[in-house]
Amino acid sequence: MDILNVQQGLNPDVEKMIIERDIQGLMTTLEKGKDFAARMRAAEGLGSIRDERAIKLLLNLLKRNRGDVKALAIVALGRIQGRRATQLLIETLKDDSPYCREVSAIMLGDSGDERAIAPLTEALNDLDHIVGEKARWALVELGTMAVYPLIDALDHGNTVTREAAIRALGEIGDEQATSPLIWTLEDEKDTIREAAAQALGKMKDKRAVQPLIRLLEDRNPHCREEAARALGLIRDEGAVDALINICGDENRDVRESVIQALGELGDRRAVDSLTNSLQDTDKEVRKTAVRSLGKIGEEQVKELLLQLLQDSDSTIREGAAVALGELQEPRAVDPLIHALEDPSEGVREAAIRALGILGDRKALDPLRQALKEEWVRCSIRMMGFETRVSNLPALENNWNQMQILRALYRIQGDRATQSLIGALEEEQINIGRDLTQTIHDYIERWGEVFPGVNRAQNRSMRAWRILKEGLADTERESYQ
């Protein structure tokens, strides 16, 4: 249980106690409240008030409680006392309860106290993996003061501790860790080499390029995969030839990482290899190859991507649509509009998003039409009439509806709402109440799509009235 990430709703009683600095009320809620979120908020409230009178009460609470009550008391004490609580937190980091160990690690990370480093390092291999993760997070929060102790931990006897130390060093990103991490690329344990490659990629230190190139020949495919990914993050052109050489690796994950890295590097030398990868046996690898070609962005590549929108492989058509949108290639507008009727859902979704990025008003009517057709298809499917309209070109799921609305908004801004209402006014659809309710459900979800939901609310209600008036009377006909 990630105890500090529990969703908290607003509890008026607890908020009132915090405002009124009601220490005793907050203590009672923390210990005896039935709702965990309210108890968590009480602990935070005690911490934010920072009233010294609460310390004795909280210490007594620690002595007579276990589990989550004790953990919440630790949270409050840590926030009231700051560094003065370090020694107590070090002790509770060894508590029998994983909840107590978890919050102790978090509080130590917030303390900024170097005394916390050694016990947190030992906690990296805690039997509860969440506690170990929080200990790693805490060491990252402590930052540069933890770098040398973490470098020392690379020689720890426990593999879990070593791997966690490597990941923490990668997240801290201090250049002092680069050489020690390069040394660990030679480690006998696969997981250590893999973690080291990942950490070096995050650090983006070019001293790691040649060692990572050597790791591309590792016997373990996960190590080769992470080496390729790291080289893509570092973006040193010296890695291009080595990556090209393993484009045909026997492992599909390695091939995908290599192709993605070549896209990140954006070097024209990779064009032929990426084009060859369009014939890969794995569809995700093919899709990645198309997108990587798009990142190179030269004229010959744009021409190729436009051709690939007509490819017989839907995976390649989808990747081409994504890439052309990212390149903001204006010549793609017409083929992307045509792709709104593609038999592949993935291609249609990619075309919708690309048209939104391109922002060409030519796409407005086709997008509105696609949205209407999706509403029709959704309702027909709900009522079992799909076989009667099997030739209807339509989108198929809620996600694509959301993408269309986003695209309309990107092209038109607030006027997209009026476009939607217009689409409803123009269409007389004869499928009754279920259709009306279906459309209403999606209108109510505009808040997930458009910024400024309050501005759209009145228009949403107008659209609902149009739907109700225009469609409710057709109920009997729809079932004849």
Give the DSSP per-residue string, 71-100: HHHHHHHHHHHGGGGHHHHHHHTT-S-HHH
Hey, CA dihedral for 363, 365, 368, 372, is it positive or negative? negative
- Give residue-wise pLDDT tens across range 210-228: 999 999 999 999 999 999 9
73-102 average pLDDT score: 87
- Give residue-wise pLDDT tens across range 112-121: 999 999 999 9
Confidence check: pLDDT of 240 > 80: yes
Confidence check: pLDDT of 436 > 70: no
Enter the tokens of residue 255: 């091939």
Lowest average pLDDT, out of 183-192, 267-276, 357-366, goes to 357-366
Which residues, at least 6 apart from 286, have a Cβ–Cβ distance to it below 8 Å?
A: 277, 278, 279, 280, 313, 315, 316, 319
Count Cβ atoms below 10 Å from residue 458 Cβ, excluding itself. Answer: 10
- Give residue-wise pLDDT tens across range 376-399: 555 545 444 333 333 433 334 455
Rounded CA-CA distance 242/249 in Å is 12
pLDDT band of residue 425 (cuts 50, 70, 90) is very low
Q: What is the predicted pLDDT for the residue at 85?
A: 87
Residue 157: half-sphere exposure toward Cβ, Cα within 13 Å? 0
DSSP three-state, residue 16: helix
Enter the tokens of residue 193: 């080499």
Rounded CA-CA distance 387/384 in Å is 8
Q: What is the predicted pLDDT for the residue at 377?
A: 55
Domains and their CATH numbers in the chain: 1-156 (1.25.10.10), 173-287 (1.25.10.10), 297-358 (1.25.10.10), 362-480 (no CATH)
Mean pLDDT for the chain overall: 80
322-351 average pLDDT score: 92
Share of the chain above pLDDT 90, in %: 50
Q: What is the predicted pLDDT for the residue at 260?
A: 96
Rounded CA-CA distance 82/110 in Å is 8
Of 119, 47, 96, 97, nearest to 105 by C-alpha is 119
Token pair 């999606």 is found at: 442
Rounded CA-CA distance 444/372 in Å is 16
- Give residue-wise pLDDT tens across range 116-143: 999 999 999 999 999 999 999 999 999 9
364-384 average pLDDT score: 65
Confidence check: pLDDT of 466 > 70: no
CB 171 within 8 A of CB 202: yes
Q: What is the predicted pLDDT for the residue at 426?
A: 46
Entry pTM: 0.72
